[in-house]
Amino acid sequence: MSVADNLARIRETIGTQPVKLIAVTKNVGPEGIAEAFRCGVTEFGENRVQDALAKREQLPPSLGANLSWHLIGHLQTNKVKKVVGRFVLVHSVDSLHLAEEIAKEAQARSLVQPLLLQVKLVEDPNKSGFTPDDLRRHFPLVASLPAIEVRGLMTIAPLTESRQIRLQCFAGLRALRDELEQTHQVKLPELSMGMTQDWQEAIGCGATMVRLGRAIFGG
């Protein structure tokens, strides 16, 4: 199916639910990005900092000026300088130390960097993130950092055939968000969860952002 057909089917499923579609451009070139934009997509996500910056350079200025870029992959501290101020949202802040480095760089540039805190709800050696207990302990410190705006939480469910485990991750993230809001009297409006293999389950658990690559672009 074409990108247009895939997007039409996804949007029909989302309906009127307040869910933002992040088109993941891993293995997608400028032509695919332009095609998705023509179909109404303006929010794009990349796993790797250097790939996102390279693709932005390849796009015509008239197109690039209308796109918002999200960093959704693991961020190393030595790449923070390349990220701050260049992404509308960093989804993958997985430690207090990384949050501190982002805050330091954002403060040096006199800007505010929006971000999400990545949480690992179930044990998975292939994923990074705060454990729920770590986040409960560190959240007051993260929230007090200057020059960052914590918009919410993000998670990646394990690659598993178990629907129960996936739902445990998504429902657990929402419950943890609700707990942090109540405990610390803050607003954390965003829940970034759900990818091509599980996005409908994530929406059912309250996702406000889904990160879709193959579901849009195929492959």
Q: How far apart are CA 36 and CA 42, in angstroms?
A: 8
Look up residue 192 and give its two tokens: 């970034």
Q: From residue 98, give the alpha-carbon distance in Å to each of 14, 28, 50.
A: 33, 28, 18
Question: Treating both helix axes as pointing N-terminal to C-terminal, what angle do 132-143 and 96-108 enclose, rounded to 10 degrees?
Answer: 20
**What pLDDT, on the 0 to 100 scale, is given for residue 124?**
79
Look up residue 65 and give its two tokens: 């000026």
- The residues pairing with 22 across neighbouring beta strands, listed in sequence order, are 211
Question: Treating both helix axes as pointing N-terminal to C-terminal, what angle do 49-58 and 30-38 enclose, rounded to 10 degrees?
Answer: 70
Look up residue 174 and give its two tokens: 């929402």
Length of the chain in residues, anyone?
A: 219
**What pLDDT, on the 0 to 100 scale, is given for residue 153?**
98
- Give DSSP secondary structure letters for 63-77: HHTT-EEEE-S---G
Q: Which domains does the chain have, with CATH numbers?
A: 3-217 (3.20.20.10)
Tens of pLDDT along the chain (219 residues) come to 899 999 999 999 999 999 999 999 999 999 999 999 999 999 999 999 999 999 999 999 888 889 999 999 999 999 999 999 999 999 999 999 999 999 999 999 999 999 999 999 988 777 889 999 999 999 999 999 999 999 999 999 988 888 999 999 999 999 999 999 999 999 999 999 999 999 999 999 999 999 999 999 997
**What pLDDT, on the 0 to 100 scale, is given for residue 164?**
93
